[in-house]
Structure 1
Amino acid sequence: MSTVLAVAVFVVAYVFIATEKIPKMVAALAGAGVVLAFGVTGAEDAFYSHDTGIDWDVIFLLLGMMIIVGVLRRTGVFEFLAIWAAKRAQGSPLRIMVLLVLITAVASAFLDNVTTVLLIAPVTLLVCDRLDIKPTPFLIAEVLASNIGGAATLIGDPPNIIIGSRAGLSFNDFLVNMAPIVVIELVAFVLALRWFFRGSFAVDPARVADVMRLNEREAIRDRGLLVKCGVVLLAVFAGFVGHSVFHIEPSVVALLGAGVLVLISRAEPKDFLAGVEWETLLFFAGLFVMIGALVKTGVIGNLAKLAADATGGNALFAVMLILVVSTLLSGVIDNIPYVATMSPLVLALTQDIPDPGHSEALWWSLALGADFGGNMTAIGASANVVMLGIAARSGSPISFWEFTRKGAQVTLLTVLIAAPYLWLRYFVLG
């Protein structure tokens, strides 16, 4: 009965989120309330369990970075970067999109995807405002690029950290095995931008001329505060990159950075709290509780086990099946609990495959499917949800289906490239 209820609540909430009949925050919190009220999951499971509860690391990472961005916005640096990017691209919307996509993808390989999105989105909104063009295609392209770029390294996407820990794979292992395919995927994505977002690159030449006459240095309003923000951000980024060495979670790093920056900037609460996406944080909380109910009742575990059992010991079939199943499931549920559930099953599967190259390919298949599958729908990855929240607050809302139409196309492209890569590298050349 609990299993049926958990599935039913998730499906109903998902329908409301997809159709946008009610705000997605309301749908997620209502769904969480139902599974809690009927005892499918309890307070211990929802608030304290690492496997079935709210991922507080994600929540507080978001909160900390939102506060930092709120203080940073007061310096005028986003206006500076917006004008700089527009001028370097000669005012061409397509070239601006390519530039921002590349910056986002590279940054996402070394920072959390959500952090990258929080930093790049304000720049994008200002560029589009200056050129009087619709920001929606640019925001969607950037978040898709963040999920692609984040797959390149151990620290680029949370599922990679889980896989690295479970499989004993190092930062260099991820760099050698994942970075090449990510570069290929990124080149293909950039080449396809004109087609994916066709009709989005018309711009008034007069607006371009106005932008080209601007002096980006004049946009900086508080150089002293900018220096303070720069020092704190460098320390935060160093904490992100070295969190496995320092044994400090990224969420703690972000909160410490936010606290220090608020203290030294003497910012008023209304200034830095105004930039916090409270609806996004509450949406995540509700979503984590509903997904936790699916994990607790065994739904996700059973689906993953069925996929593993269907391989029949065939390594290539197992790799392709894990890639496809991971892509599909990570598109509709958050990829963090999925990977956490699937990892023990993949580990067991690797022990039945004698060839070490073939068995390791199972882990790369899981990572690629989980990371690229997050692009499939608007709630497939944390960065997607955050970007939609930013877009809504800026007055340029992105609907669930508007994002998903583009995301599904990009997911299909990336998986079609990833499948032959896995086959060639680990079964033909390996």
Structure 2
Amino acid sequence: MEVLTYSTVAVTLGLVVARPRIGPRFRVTPAMAALAGVAVLAAFGSVRLGDLAWAGKTMWRPLLGIVAIMLMTGVARRVGVLDGLADVVFRRAEGSPKKLFTLVFAFGALTAAVLNNDSAILLVTPLVVAAAKKRHPTLVVPLAFAVFLSAGVAPLIVSNPMNMVVASYAGIGFNEYAARMILPAIAGGLVTFAVIRFLFREALASAPKEVVTSAPPAKLTGSQRVVLVALLAVVLAYPIVSWFGGPVWIVAAAGAALLVVLGARAGHKPSAVVREEVHFDVLLFLVAVLVLSVGLRNVGVVDHLTRAYAGAAPARVGMLSAMGSAVLNNHPMANLNMLALAGSADARAVLAALIGGDLGPRLFPMGSLAGLLWLEMLRRAGVVIPVRRFVFIGAAATIPTLVVCLAVLL
């Protein structure tokens, strides 16, 4: 049974990473691969009906929050908030490559905090790359990495889908999470920025300064400003509602309903927003990966991980989590950490594991689905980043960042 479970999970992860085509039009999606893996494990008894029910019970609240964030992100994209902000960033740089690099990194970091890491990577990158090709062609790769690496440690629970799942399971509320993780997020962001600013110093120094025209200053439209204010109001409501004992997903759901209404006023039908912006394949993937992790628990993998974490300092937990996330992929590793640390009385161990899960995927392309999609997105835009370069820049930026983040974790 152990060999079957290990083999099934390994093949499933391979399919998730490769996303192979079957015929000219059909491609295996991560959700399909994960569901197929679950079906195999269920057929051979590695997971039982009770495991499926437990996964649904564990995931329903975080999934509601994730759906709400998808809707808010979708409305912001459709109304043009991110496009407008990207235009503002390029205008405010005043033609300076170095200033532009700084502003793009800050833009990516703020987007990751307010929406989530995947949104920052997958929505902001194409905007920045398209604008850079027109204004700073030699800076496309540095600016793409600035966006990708700006999405580091999630300062808020809602800033990373897996953090929502794990924190909810561990009983860590919004305010406790933020109080402990904002400092590592800021410190880690500063370290990452300093490293990549150094790595790309020659490209930034040699890039010609853009000729600034006398065009009117970039401004957000009325509907874009209203949606942006609503997003910020939701972010401010999270700690207030959490202080009074309310769940985060209710705030997110209310915020999503508000933004869908605002989107409708701007001409975007609610039915189209729900149909096109809620990625049900992602939701199925998250649940299926949790079930696969339960299958690994049933054959003793979690017991081995629990022993490795027993009595370990948070820094060690974070390092092991980062390595596992880089090699295994952050979604299954986060679930394994969640199960292995279920009995831990030290919230720092859980948060250290989350830090490792946030940063570890930057070491290897297969570490996260967002990283793989980012590389594919760049390739389709004509920007090819060799794996060796990805690993070099990712390791150079991630290793010192991980050390600093774990050191300042309260």
Normalised by the length of structure 2, the TM-score is 0.73
Distance change >3 Å, CA 261–CA 183, structure 1 → 2: closer
2:51 corresponding residue in structure 1: 45
In structure 2, the residue corresponding to 1:46 is in which secondary structure? Answer: helix
1:215 corresponding residue in structure 2: 216
* RMSD of equivalent CA atoms: 4.5
Identity of aligned residues (%): 22
Q: Which amino acid aligns with 1:302?
A: D
Superposed displacement of residue 86, structure 1: 0.9
Is the contact made by 2:128 and 2:143 (CA closer than 8 Å) also made in structure 1? yes
**Are 1:325 and 2:320 counterparts?**
yes
2:89 to 78, 85, 89: 85
Distance change >3 Å, CA 73–CA 415, structure 1 → 2: closer
Q: Which amino acid aligns with 2:363?
A: M
2:24 corresponding residue in structure 1: none
CA distance in 2, matches of 1:364, 1:261: 31
**Are 1:96 and 2:94 counterparts?**
no
Is the contact made by 1:325 and 1:369 (CA closer than 8 Å) also made in structure 2? yes
**Are 1:33 and 2:32 counterparts?**
no
In structure 2, the residue corresponding to 1:147 is in which secondary structure? Answer: coil
Superposed displacement of residue 174, structure 1: 6.0
Q: Which amino acid aligns with 2:33?
A: A
CA distance in 1, matches of 2:279, 2:380: 8
Normalised by the length of structure 1, the TM-score is 0.70
Q: Which amino acid aligns with 1:188?
A: V
CA distance in 2, matches of 1:214, 1:185: 37
Is the contact made by 1:375 and 1:407 (CA closer than 8 Å) also made in structure 2? yes
In structure 2, the residue corresponding to 1:49 is in which secondary structure? Answer: helix
Q: Could you list the per-position Cα deviations for residues 342-371 of structure 1 after superposition, in whole angstroms to 9, with x for gaps in the alignment? A: 334543xx6xxxxxxxxx875664454344
Superposed displacement of residue 7, structure 1: 1.9
Matches within 5 A, 1:188-203: 188-194=191-197, 196=199
Distance change >3 Å, CA 24–CA 407, structure 1 → 2: farther
Is the contact made by 1:379 and 1:385 (CA closer than 8 Å) also made in structure 2? yes
Matches within 5 A, 1:8-407: 8-22=7-21, 23-25=28-30, 26-46=32-52, 48-49=54-55, 55-106=59-110, 108=112, 112-114=116-118, 117=121, 120-121=124-125, 123-125=127-129, 127-128=131-132, 130-131=134-135, 133=137, 138-148=143-153, 150=154, 152=155, 159=163, 171=175, 175=179, 178-194=181-197, 196=199, 208-209=210-211, 212-217=213-218, 220=221, 223=222, 225-245=223-243, 247-266=245-264, 267-268=268-269, 269-270=271-272, 273-277=275-279, 280-299=282-301, 301-309=302-310, 318-331=313-326, 332=328, 333-334=330-331, 336-347=334-345, 365-378=352-365, 380=367, 384=371, 406-407=393-394
Superposed displacement of residue 17, structure 1: 3.5
Is the contact made by 1:113 and 1:146 (CA closer than 8 Å) also made in structure 2? yes
Q: Could you list the per-position Cα deviations for residues 126-166 of structure 1 after superposition, in whole angstroms to 9, with x for gaps in the alignment? A: 53354364766545443432223x2x566655648956985
Superposed displacement of residue 192, structure 1: 1.6
Q: Which amino acid aligns with 1:305?
A: T
Q: Could you list the per-position Cα deviations for residues 30-89 of structure 1 after superposition, in whole angstroms to 9, with x for gaps in the alignment? A: 3233223333224543355268x6x34554444433333333334343332222111222
CA distance in 2, matches of 1:59, 1:170: 16
Higher relative contact order (CA 8 A, sep 6+): 1
Q: Which amino acid aligns with 2:188?
A: E
In structure 2, the residue corresponding to 1:215 is in which secondary structure? Answer: coil
Alignment gaps of 5+ in structure 2: 22-27
Q: Could you list the per-position Cα deviations for residues 199-230 of structure 1 after superposition, in whole angstroms to 9, with x for gaps in the alignment? A: 87699859x33x7444354774xx2x335424
Is the contact made by 1:67 and 1:275 (CA closer than 8 Å) also made in structure 2? yes
Distance change >3 Å, CA 203–CA 251, structure 1 → 2: farther
Q: Could you list the per-position Cα deviations for residues 8-31 of structure 1 after superposition, in whole angstroms to 9, with x for gaps in the alignment? A: 112122233344545452433432
CA distance in 1, matches of 2:389, 2:134: 24
In structure 1, the residue corresponding to 2:362 is in which secondary structure? Answer: coil
Is the contact made by 1:327 and 1:370 (CA closer than 8 Å) also made in structure 2? yes
